[in-house]
A = this chain, B = another copy of it.
């Protein structure tokens, strides 16, 4: 099972090459993670959204590792990018999140052939905000995230 999260570009994500800067692609992934994992009172939140990520919350979600493959330059697009996400590993206190970033959904002539812009994987560690030490994934979190565990994203190079 994969979660699809639409993420909008900002004009300033483009650099002087006229493409989304390599760094801002990770910003896109960060926004997709928050949308997917952080609890909200919005009823439209997905079923993975059980992590209390508010500033001042008891858990910090820290990034331990990231890997990203850029397959095609991302031009400026008004419609949101289509970020699909799943998990490739759930450990004691950390998890591996995989992503595929594609051109926007909903464009009739594109539907059959979205461009795959990037593949990525992030290792995220849950950290107790008080002690600054990793804390275990709770049963609630594990149950919410388990349906999204799949094979890791396959990078072209390594």
Question: What is the interface of chain A, defined by CB distance below 8 A to chain B?
Answer: 8, 10-12, 14-18, 21-24, 26-27, 30-31, 34, 38, 40, 42, 54-56, 60, 62-70, 73, 75-76, 78-79, 123, 155, 157
Given contacts A18-B16, A31-B11, A62-B70, A78 and B42 within 8 Å (CB-CB):
yes
**What distance in Å separates the Cβ of A41 from its nearest Cβ neighbour in chain B?**
8
Contacts of A76 in B (CB 8 A): 16, 54-55
Q: Give 22 pairs: A residue, B residue, CB < 8 Å, sorted on A.
A: A10-B10, A10-B27, A11-B15, A11-B34, A12-B15, A14-B55, A16-B16, A17-B62, A22-B26, A22-B30, A22-B66, A23-B23, A23-B30, A40-B78, A42-B78, A42-B79, A55-B75, A62-B73, A63-B70, A64-B69, A66-B66, A66-B68
**Chain B nearest CB, measured from A38 CB (Å):** 8
Closest to A66 in B: B68
Picked from B10, B22, B55, B67, the residue with its CB within 8 Å of the CB of A18 is: B55
Verify A69–B78 contact, CB threshold 8 A: no
